[in-house]
Structure formats: structure tokens, C-alpha cells
Amino acid sequence: MVHKALSIAGSDNSGGAGIQADLKVFSAFGVYGMSAITSITVQDSLGVKSSHPVPADIVFRQIQSVAEDIGVDAFKTGMLQTEENVLAVYQAVKDFKLKNFVVDTVIKSKNGTFLLDKNAVETFIKKIIPVCDVVTPNTDEAEVITGIRIRNIQQMKKAAVEISKIGAKTVIIKGGHLPLKDKVVDLVYHKGDFLFLEYPLVKTKNTHGTGCTFSAAITACLSKSIETVKSIRIARAYVQGAIENSLSTGKGTGSLNHLWTVL
Ligand code: PXL
């Protein structure tokens, strides 16, 4: 039986993030990958040079075509760029009754370029987060969503509860940007329980696309009907391997190795 996953995200021509990362991850998990491209970015390992949104009706129709013809077992969103695209995705989720929805809260790139227009953030929070199953902000994004300053575990917990009140069933706050020594702690808030996933910090500059990779791996697992918390655990372990085996692609921030499991 083939499991089918859809990524609704931006194109990263440098291959490490966005649609390109997501399709590699789906393949690494043996899942049939599909895409709805929301934006075409021009970038290399040194940063995003420009981004060009795809018209909202084309985003909607890409989702419609695969939903009606092929079927979608799980899906994720990454970069959406415009408010029109946010609304188109919301409409498609409703119209085609899409299930197993992972939201990667892509707001800014590592070099500070906005990947979601400032005027789209509020709509994104109000429309997309309430209809998703799993949401995966890092601490910076969780601060934008909740207005809570996050510098420690206690504040992470508070933000996770607030985000779950917006409507996400399961909230993961990724702790990679927190100043903890030698380790990364991610918090999972699921059905009223807190769970901490702790991994050693990998000392590498090659971390481009980490968020895309993690959310795509969760989506791949959900498409195989693996239970949510188990999907998150498997995805986190997979990301650790992808970072440990990361690649020095380009002069700046290199890519994770999405295919490390088949090395
Ligand atoms: O990692 C966030 C991200 C998501 N999607 C696209 C990107 C990036 C970061 O550069 O380019 C298309």
C-alpha cells in the first residue's frame, strides 16, 4: 500500500529547504510525495535573494487536483508568503476535508528575510493554526504567535498551552535557538501532557532546512497512520541523523543530509 503525503510550501532552488527538502524526506520514509508550490524563492547557502509568490488560485488548484484525483493521507504547510495564499490553503483544507495536517510556522529565513508577509501573520494565526493537528514553531516563532518572551523551559510550557488554545491539537516548541549548553530540548504538548525530547547539540553550521525536514518527517509518519507522539519521536530521531550527517553545500549554511538513512 502506498502512503501519500503533500507539501504546500515554497520552492528552495538550493535544495535544502522548502518543497525540495520535503520531497526528499518523503522519499526517505518511502512515502509518495506531492507538492503545491506557494512561492518560488531565489537563494543559495548565503541567503534568500528574492521570493515570488504563486497566485492564490493556482495554489488552490494544485491542492485540489491531487486531493480529488490521488488522495492525501497527510500534508504539511511551510512557506506561504502571502495572505491570499494563507486563505487559499485554509479554503482547500475545508473544501477537500484534508486530514493529518502539520504546520511549520515559517515566518522568517535564517538570514532574516520575511517568508510570510507581515500583513499575513495575523490571518495565518487565526485561520491555519486552529485547523491543524500538529504545529512546530521554534521559540522565535512561538514568541510572535503568543507574545510571550521565551528564554527558559517554563516560558516554553506557557507558550505551548497558549498555542493549543488557538486550536492546534499538538504543539511542539523547538528549543534549538534557546541558550542551553550542549543540548537541544524540544517541548511537546499533547492532550494536556508535556513531554520533553532532549538531544545533544550537534556543532555544525550546516543546518539549512532543519524545520522543513522535521515537519516533513512528522507528515510522512502520520501518512502511514503512525500515532502522533510516536511520529514526532521518529521524526526527531531522523532529524538528528540528518544533522549529524549534514553536507557542506555552498559557502554558507549547508544542507542537512535527508537521505542519511540510505547511506
Ligand atoms: O526553513 C524555512 C524555509 C522554508 N521554505 C523555504 C525556504 C526556507 C528558508 O530559507 O527557503 C522555501
Low-confidence winner among 30-39, 43-52, 109-118 (lowest mean pLDDT) = 109-118
Rounded distance, CA 10 to CA 128, Å? Answer: 17
Residue 226 scores a pLDDT above 90: yes
Nearest to 20 by CA among 256, 261, 195: 256
Q: Where are the domains of the chain?
A: 4-244
What one-letter code names the amino acid at 40?
Answer: I
Ligand 1 atom at minimum distance from 111 CA:
10
pLDDT recorded at residue 156: 97
Q: How far apart are CA 219 and CA 22, in angstroms?
A: 9
Answer yes or no: is the C-beta of 15 below 6 A from any ligand 1 atom: no
Paired with 114 in beta bridges are 108
What pTM does this model have?
A: 0.98
The alpha carbon of 186 and the centre of ligand 1 are apart by a number of angstroms equal to 20
Q: Whose Cα sits closest to atom 11 in ligand 1? A: 12
Best of 20, 46, 79, 124 for a ligand 1 pocket test (most atoms within 8 Å of beta carbon): 79
Which stretches does DSSP call E strand in the chain?
Answer: 4-12, 32-44, 47-53, 74-77, 101-103, 134-135, 170-173, 183-190, 193-200
Establish whether 207 is a catalytic residue. Answer: yes
Query: How far is ligand 1, taken at its centre, from the CA of residue 192, in Å?
Result: 31
Q: What's the whole-number mean pLDDT along residues 208-223?
A: 98
DSSP state of 205: S
- Catalytic status, residue 47: no
Cα gap 216→45, rounded to integer Å: 21
The tens digit of pLDDT for each residue in 64-114 reads 999 999 999 999 999 999 999 999 999 999 999 999 999 999 999 888 889
C-alpha 214 chain-centroid distance: 6
Lowest mean per-residue pLDDT among 23-27, 32-36, 107-111: 107-111
> What pLDDT was estimated at residue 146?
97
* The pLDDT value given to residue 263: 72
Order the strands of the 74-77 sheet from edge to edge: 47-53, 32-44, 4-12, 74-77, 101-103, 134-135, 170-173, 183-190, 193-200
Tell me the three cell numbers of residue 146.
503568543
Cβ of residue 141 lying under 6 Å from some atom of ligand 1: no
For residues 99 and 77, what is the distance between their CA atoms, to the nearest angstrom? 13
Q: Which fold has domain 4-244?
A: UDP-N-acetylmuramoyl-L-alanine:D-glutamate ligase (3.40.1190)
